[in-house]
Amino acid sequence: MRIRFATLFDRLSSLGAWIAVTGTFPLVGGLVWDVSIHEASPGLAAHESVFTIDNPAHVVFLAGIGLIVVGMLGFLGGQVRAARSTRRARFVSVTAVAVALALTAAVGATSAVQTQLSSASSDLTAAHSHGAAGAAAHHATFVTAGPGCEPQGTPATSTQQAAAAQLVAAVKATWSPRLTPADAGALGYMPPKAPGKDPRLVHYRNRALATATADRLDPAHPQALVFLHLPDGATVLGGVLFTAPIGQGPCVGGASTLWHYHQATATREMIHVWLFDNPGGSFATGIGGTAGIRAAERELEASAPGVPVDPGASTVSTVNGGIEGLVRTLVRVPAPSRS
């Protein structure tokens, strides 16, 4: 038994360096594979730990790390055994072990950052959202200069509450959660060229409406559609986004529907209208973090399949007419001639 162990140790010592080199291939390949998996399913990181065995890419790069560690230990063991009496050999061996451990830790840290970056961004988005009363939000500057807008925290009147609810109803009646990105493209809404900070949502913008100054709250023609990537891999339409020149967005619901912007250099303000029960409210600046994603998954995936309703249909037309009249009253724009 002792002879067999010595023989095995000798073979491991002679092949240790090659085993370690071989381990780099599954390590790098597994990390690349993991990146491609997360690009295909951006919501995966929201419920995945640093090392998840269910993810085959994790198994591959963990196997690579194991081969590197075993190979380095075998190689270093052989070196120590061959020259254990020399001080220099001991110093080199200890240094090499430290380097190997540091390399392994660095690889693990890189993987941790890669798999958890989306979750960290999502937590920032949770803090970014605001309540229905218009409380201050992280990284969002609210505008109170628009038509009908009031200072943050001002209670909405019954009329304002009804108008806000009417806007939400109009948007929900016009847009289906089952609208696909391909459908959005056919309507003129295109994805961004570069991914945003939160991989769980993507704004598809309509360039033809991007600089619009009229029909600022037309439920049938928002400036952007907001798609959500859910943890189970599904993609659903989660809401719409309206934009307007800063200070011109009408607050139909008073302080509960304040518009906002994110950068000091911005020239347009925005407001979301969500299709699900967002924890931050129907007009929250973000998706509401993990709680919001769960609500979207529960409500939007359970909705009946459909396509955007024709804005000319009777029920939607009635709601849109009310919103149009209220907006025109706020911004004091004369109604177009219908003769």
Residues 88 and 205 in one domain: no
Give yes or no: residues 168 and 232 share one domain: yes
pLDDT at 137: 38
Domain span including residue 11: 2-126
Whether residue 337 is contained in a domain is answered as no
Same domain, 271 and 199: yes
In this prediction, residue 107 carries a pLDDT of 56
What pLDDT does 182 receive?
Answer: 96
Query: Hey, CA dihedral for 46, 51, 57, 61, is it positive or negative?
Result: positive
For the CA atoms of 54, 58, 59, 61, what is the dihedral angle to 10 degrees? 180
From 76, 99, 126, give the residue that closes a domain: 126
Q: Is residue 336 part of a domain?
A: no
In the chain, beta strands by DSSP E:
141-143, 189-190, 201-206, 224-229, 235-245, 259-261, 268-274
Q: Tell me, yes or no, whether 89 lies in a domain.
A: yes
Tokens representing 127 are: 């803090």
Adjacent-strand bridge partners of 243? 270
pLDDT of residue 98: 60
Of 111, 126, 141, the domain-final residue: 126
28 and 119 together in one domain:
yes
275 and 319 assigned to the same domain: yes
Residues with Cβ within 8 Å of 199's Cβ and at least 6 positions away in sequence, in order, are 38, 42, 43, 45, 118, 121, 229
Domain assignment present for 313: yes
pLDDT of 105: 60
pLDDT at 122: 35
> Is residue 120 domain-shared with residue 141, that is, in the same domain?
no
Could you give the 3-state DSSP secondary structure of residue 305?
A: coil
The pLDDT averaged over each successive group of 10 residues in the chain (339 residues) is: 60 73 84 68 45 70 83 72 60 60 58 43 35 44 93 94 96 96 96 83 93 86 95 94 95 95 91 96 92 93 53 42 57 41
- Is 155 within a domain? yes
Tokens of 37: 């998996």
271, β-bridge pairs: 242
Q: Count the Cβ atoms, other than its own, within 10 Å of residue 141.
A: 15
In whole angstroms, what is the distance from residue 69 CA to residue 267 CA? 55
Instruction: Tokens for 253, please give them.
Output: 């619901």
pLDDT at 61: 76
Our count of domains for the chain comes to 2
pLDDT of residue 124: 33
pLDDT, residue 95, reads: 63
Do 112 and 142 share a domain, yes or no? no
Q: What is the pLDDT of residue 88?
A: 59
Q: Do both 155 and 117 map to the same domain?
A: no
**pLDDT of res. 194:** 81
User: Of 103, 126, 149, which closes a domain?
Assistant: 126
For residue 281, being part of any structural domain is answered with yes
Task: For residue 13, give the nearest of 67, 81, 74, 69 by alpha carbon.
Answer: 74
Residues 80 and 218 in one domain: no
Shared domain check, 167 and 64: no
- Kindly state whether residues 19 and 148 are assigned to the same domain: no
User: Residue 264 has what pLDDT?
Assistant: 86
**Residues 34, 36, 41, 43: is their CA dihedral positive or negative?**
positive
Quick one: 177 and 294 in the same domain? yes
339, part of any domain:
no
